[in-house]
A and B are shown apart, each in its own frame.
Chain A
Amino acid sequence: MSEVMIEATINGTARTFACDTRDSLLEVLRDRLGLRGAKAGCNTGDCGACTVRLDGDLVCACLVLAVEIEGRAVQTVEGLGTDGALHRVQAAFVAEDALQCGVCTPGFVVAAVDLLERNPHPTETEVRQALEGNLCRCTGYDKIVRAVLTCAGARDE
């Protein structure tokens, strides 16, 4: 066990912090940086509740070692919108009632933002494929998929 110093860009801001070499990115985000939007649902990369972007790519923060982010950029749900100025995906989730307990919601929001940046007009199937790595146990996905489609100006299948 040893502590190392890491420099990385977190939600656009340069941060320097100490971490244990065994810490996951998820542990560092939550316990050292106070960013608790990403949730620990399984710690094995199966549920997607800890989905964040690392240099623009979706990752499960539970599967990334914190030391791997040295010099890289991490975007979490906290980097998308603010109180009163929601990201359009966040606004759509609220408007379409695309959440219930909400514990999976940050992961879905990050994954949906990522999809829409890569593919602004996804089909329903493309939305479902893009969200396949995120488990939701409350909504049956119906209103989540609809929320993403409404912010997308969706394409027919």
Chain B
Amino acid sequence: MSEYGVIGTRPPRPDGEDKVLGTARYGADVERPAGCLAGAVLRSPHGHARILGIDTAPALAIPGVRAVVTAADLPAVEAAGARLGEGPIDLQDLRSNVLAEGRALYHGHAIAAVAADDERTARDALARIVVEYEPLPAVTSARAAMAAGAPVLHPTLHERRGRGPAGGGGLARGNVASHQRYRRGDPEAALARAPFVVERTVETLTVHQGYIEPHNVTARWTESGVLEVWLSTQGAFLVQMQLAALLTLEPERVRVVPMEIGGGFGGKIQVYLEPLAALLARKSGAPVHMVMSRAEELLATGPAPGAQVSVRLGAEADGRIVAASATLAYEAGAFPGSAVREAAACVFAPYAIENVSIDAYDVVVNKPKSAPYRAPGAANAVFACEVALDELARTVGLDPIALRLRNRADEGYRRVDGPVFGRIGLREVLETARAHEHYGAPLTREPRPGARRGRGVAASFWLNGSGRSTVRARVRGDGTVRLVEGSTDIGGTRLSVAMQFAEVLGIPIEAVRAEVVDTDEVPWTDATFGSRVTFATGMAAHDAAQAVQRRVREHLAARWGVGPERIERIDGRWCVEGGGESLGFAEVARALCGGEEGGFFEESATVDPEGVGVAFAAHVVDVEVDTETGAVEVLRYTAVQDVGSAIHPSHVEGQIQGGVVQGIGWALMEGMEYGPDGRLRNQGLLDYRMPTALDVPFVEAVLVEVPNPGHPFGVRGVGEIPIVAPPASIANAIHDAIGVRLDRLPMTPRRVLEALGVIAAEDEDG
């Protein structure tokens, strides 16, 4: 069936053996340089406070303490926007996030850092730093922060407008950092005329990426003044750029060495510990190693924004949607720059609607600065839209997938945020979901007294990303190839990139090995974000392989005295068209290396591709609701997704299964809970519950392949979209089971019992 030899196969991942043996080296496993100190961070106990004074002298007096740093040790930086992959941030804000100056803006905000001979001494020393705070009232939801009289986080925010991501028009004032408006047609009039109107308002809590490996860093300064940093990061070059900007160094004076990474999902792009370790190392004159505790992870990294989202849909009696409006208020955290812009692009994207309005507010609150988390911004907004669609399907009496098919966008449709869809697989995805055995399978509505089962569906959209990537190929005289790239491998991309290289040259994947190298070894490469690596870095591998192939052709053309266009490859062997003498790749490679098996030659390619293939998915889920306890069990989950072209189908399935389970956690159990004092209540994994193997079923990933014309092998990003639909699909299934809608995430047993009227509702502003 497949026209490919390597693409579409499932070779074992090259990093697998090291990982199962426990020999793979992550950032925390770095062999520490001689004399390495341990660093620790003092964090604000207040959600919002003025810092009146910091006395570090008592900490410095402790034996074994080698250095203490505060914001005063950070050089001043220009206000300038920096795009960190999917999340924009202003450099001054980044500096203020790294170490608080004047004000602590969230519980856990870094105030000072200590380096000492060992970690215990460093942590003990934190208690000796004297900080005088004047506590201020805190706001921890967008709704509260937008209310009249709310405490204002950044009194000068709007004077700085127009410089970086804080810029914005419309109703930007107070804590509203920006207000984006998108409009088409006359949605108000169309909604007023529509015979059917449904409206949903939902709220979601801040959630954490929950990678198992905490942030870590080891930093040292060489004798020539170069800063060397070992760590786990999604983007070594973005760490280099941030450190250079914050420490006012030339980027080439910063060498970043990416180790294996223990998960990121968007949360390991922005710097937190890295500048502190660099400052402490400079001040102490010794290398410094730092690792976050799990509490620090939850308190002071970059979770996904909580949001309040309202959606109205107006439809004709046949289910055709004539108008849609949405209001999106996203919690940026303590500094501007939530993913609300992406949310606006996603909320109605699957549907062709004539009259649309979207108001998107980026709102600062006393929480850590939000960061990307797998399809940043999309899940909250899509949750609102897809439960509204479910309501509409019931109102007009249509099958929910039929309703979505009737309103679907096709190639050529212009989204309200501007872009026009190219070849997309939405119709194929919806039709595949509708035809899937799961969708039509019988469901026992009441398997036992007190248990109710329901089925839900939701569609979803994600933008996917691109960016710059380079692949360097070193072809050795024995026919093996070493690829070097700058793209951190989280989901198996060393293999998916190498497979594309092998495919072009028709060589076995075993002959090609890809490695992720440090910032001195490869040109600037954007971070691993936006489901971009198999797409963009894979394209660089494709192009590098084509360069190798050109060399092969030219060599053989000269050798056989024919034009290069007459050289062809049949079953992996090169010959003049029509047959005759033939050579395998290893033989040609040896000849190109001057006959030396130990020789090599190199080719490289750099890309920054434009032809991003967007992603669509449709999910079907069965749940069982225990009406006595309120517990929701996910019984069966099917995720249908347009994956473009599955380079390594097991890896694609793994992305879908992992993303869906994160989405199940978001739907049912996860949420960072802040008290009225602005303090985070759940600071550990016992209270911030993520799904275990016992909480979820097998997730069936159904791969629909509608090739992306913007990629030589048709690749679309696959990693992010799987998290988007589960909150909506599960909410719709719960409604199908018990007849009530839950509008707040997570849909915990308590919320289910509240919705059923079994217990009284909690105070919303608790």
Contacts and interface: CB of A to CB of B under 8 A. Distances in A.
A132 B651 contact: no
Contacts of A100: 263, 490-492, 654, 658
Contact of A138 (B16, B29, B650, B654): B654
B693 A22 contact: no
Given A94-B12, A101-B262, 4 more contacts: A97-B10, A138-B658, A139-B657, A141-B693
Contact of B20 (A38, A94, A135): A94
Interface string B234-266: 000000000000000000000000001111110
21 contacts: A22-B120, A40-B291, A41-B214, A44-B294, A47-B212, A77-B20, A93-B16, A101-B212, A101-B260, A102-B24, A127-B693, A128-B694, A131-B693, A132-B692, A134-B692, A135-B685, A140-B660, A140-B662, A141-B657, A143-B654, A143-B657
Nearest to B262: A103
A30 B265 CA distance: 26
B50 interface: no
Interface of B: 10, 12-13, 15-26, 28-29, 120, 209-214, 260-265, 291, 293-294, 490-492, 650-651, 653-654, 657-662, 684-686, 690-694, 696, 698-699
A2 interface: no
A99 B696 contact: no
Interface in A98-113: 99-106, 109
B490 A77 contact: no
Interface in A143-157: 143-146
Nearest to A141: B693
Contacts of B29: 30, 36
B21 A132 contact: no
A39 B263 CA distance: 13
Considering residues B16, B120, B651, B696, which has the most beta carbons from chain A within 10 angstroms of its beta carbon?
Answer: B16
A22 B654 CA distance: 40
B23 A37 contact: yes
B23 A137 contact: no
Considering residues A38, A83, A101, A127, which has the most beta carbons from chain B within 10 angstroms of its beta carbon?
Answer: A101
A110 B684 CA distance: 24
A39 B262 contact: yes
B120 to A, nearest CB: 7
Interface string A80-103: 011100100011011101011111
B260 A102 contact: yes
Contacts of A106: 20, 22
Nearest to A84: B17
Nearest to A42: B294
Contacts of A90: 17, 20-21
A95 B684 CA distance: 33
B16 A39 contact: no
A142 interface: yes
B501 to A, nearest CB: 20
Contacts of A142: 653-654, 657, 698-699
Contacts of B25: 36
Given A101-B490, A137-B211, A140-B660, A76 B22 contact: yes
A93 B24 CA distance: 15
A46 interface: yes
Contacts of B660: 140
Chief secondary structure at chain A's binding surface: loop
Nearest to B210: A137
A12 to B, nearest CB: 16
Given A109-B20, A137-B211, A39 B28 contact: yes
Interface string A123-134: 000011101111
A43 interface: yes
B168 to A, nearest CB: 34
A36 B22 contact: yes
B651 to A, nearest CB: 7
Given A100-B654, A135-B692, A44 B210 contact: no
A86 B21 contact: yes
A80 to B, nearest CB: 8
A65 to B, nearest CB: 14
A25 interface: no
Nearest to B16: A94
A142 B639 CA distance: 13
B372 to A, nearest CB: 15
Given A76-B22, A78-B22, A142-B699, A97 B13 contact: yes
Contacts of A99: 13, 16, 19-20
A137 to B, nearest CB: 5
A42 B684 contact: yes
A139 to B, nearest CB: 5
Given A135-B685, A138-B654, A139-B658, A94 B13 contact: yes
B484 to A, nearest CB: 20
B762 to A, nearest CB: 25
Nearest to A92: B20
A136 interface: yes
Nearest to A127: B693
A44 B212 contact: no
A132 B16 CA distance: 22
Considering residues B491, B685, B691, which has the most beta carbons from chain A within 10 angstroms of its beta carbon?
Answer: B685
B20 A103 contact: no
B261 A101 contact: yes
A86 B654 CA distance: 22
A49 interface: yes
A133 B24 CA distance: 22
A137 B22 contact: no
A128 B21 contact: no
Contacts of A104: 212, 262
Contacts of B13: 94, 97, 99
A135 B690 contact: yes
Considering residues B210, B261, B263, B690, which has the most beta carbons from chain A within 10 angstroms of its beta carbon?
Answer: B263
The list of the 9 closest CB pairs from A to B, nearest first, reads: A37-B22, A103-B262, A102-B19, A140-B661, A140-B657, A46-B685, A77-B22, A90-B20, A94-B16
Given A42-B685, A101-B261, A86 B20 contact: yes
B518 to A, nearest CB: 19
